Amino acid sequence: MNIIRDPRAMQRECEALRQAGKRIAFVPTMGYLHEGHLSLLREARRRGDVLVLSIYVNPTQFGPKEDLGRYPRDEAGDLAKAESCGVDLAFVPQNLYPEGFQTYIAVRELEQPLCGASRPGHFIGVATVVAKLFQLVRPHVALFGRKDYQQLAIIRRMVRDLDFDIEIVGMPIVREPDGLALSSRNAYLEGDERQRALCLSRGLAAARDLFAGGERDTKKLTAAARAQVEQGATRVDYVEIRDAESLAAVERVERPCVIAIAAFVGTTRLIDNDILEA
């Protein structure tokens, strides 16, 4: 496995691989890798000749009061896991933003609801860094987890809108055996918070059960989910059902929809979601 830290060196290396006719599969991450990330890497390994991983805790997607400073890091552990998944190139830049940086990408409608409403600027940071990484790696295919559902929708939109010639693959949410969605931020959970964090997946299960029984009213479905989330959460940010593609608000689930939850358990902000297939 080749570890590259310099953006220009990364760009040169990937361009040479592309010129040599290699199909490049790319998995961008912020590191502190867990089985969710590794599931993306394993699938990417199957989909490309060259497997590229990036590890970069992107400052522009964190708000001023968010956890940038304490975001968990374990570069040595990450690189060992990457190697075991067959990563060829690990891109671990120190900084991706040149002096005077001022160019941002806004996916203007999709970034408004859900996490965008409580994390202003977050998705501008995400879209911008992903676009930059795409420019450096120029992958043929890039894989993202559905865990970050709105992020995946935004990246799909950006790729279409800005003519990136990249196939975007969305991957299922990997969970702990008890249902908790894997997240690097789970490392923040202390004491009973780990148990309380199950309130998110339990909320999704409650809505899913009601939906399976024929309920289609968004208010009733979200109320059932919210009741579960409130059992464990310190504060509920949102419980919402929206159109799975446009993320538009819906009153009834009559097309594929996403039910998305964000809640604080202690000081840790957790997200989870599920698709309701109408």
Active site residue ranges: 37
Q: What is the DSSP string of 220-253?
A: HHHHHHHHHHHHH-SEEEEEEEEETTT--B-SB-
Place of tokens 């003519």: 163
Q: What is the dihedral of CA 231, 176, 155, 5, to 10 degrees?
A: 120
DSSP-assigned beta bridge partners for residue 25? 51, 141
Kindly state whether residue 174 participates in binding ligand AMP, applying the rule CB under 6 A: yes
CB neighbourhood size of 78 (10 A):
20
Decide whether 86 or 254 has the Cβ nearer to ligand AMP.
86
Kindly state whether residue 186 participates in binding ligand AMP, applying the rule CB under 6 A: no
Kindly state whether residue 36 participates in binding ligand AMP, applying the rule CB under 6 A: yes
| 3 state SS of 263 | strand
Shortest approach of ligand AMP to residue 87 CB, angstroms? Answer: 14
Q: Give me the count of residues in the chain.
A: 278
Site for ligand AMP in 143-172 (CB under 6 A): 144-145, 147-148, 171
Question: Which residue from 4, 40, 82, 239 is in contact with ligand AMP, where contact means CB under 6 A?
Answer: 40
Question: Which residue from 184, 218, 222, 228 is in contact with ligand AMP, where contact means CB under 6 A?
Answer: 184
Kindly state whether residue 82 participates in binding ligand AMP, applying the rule CB under 6 A: no
Decide whether 172 or 256 has the Cβ nearer to ligand AMP.
172
DSSP 182: P
Shortest approach of ligand AMP to residue 57 CB, angstroms? Answer: 9
Question: Which one-letter amino acid corresponds to residue 117?
Answer: A
Residues that bind ligand AMP (CB under 6 A): 29-30, 36-37, 39-40, 144-145, 147-148, 171, 173-174, 181-184
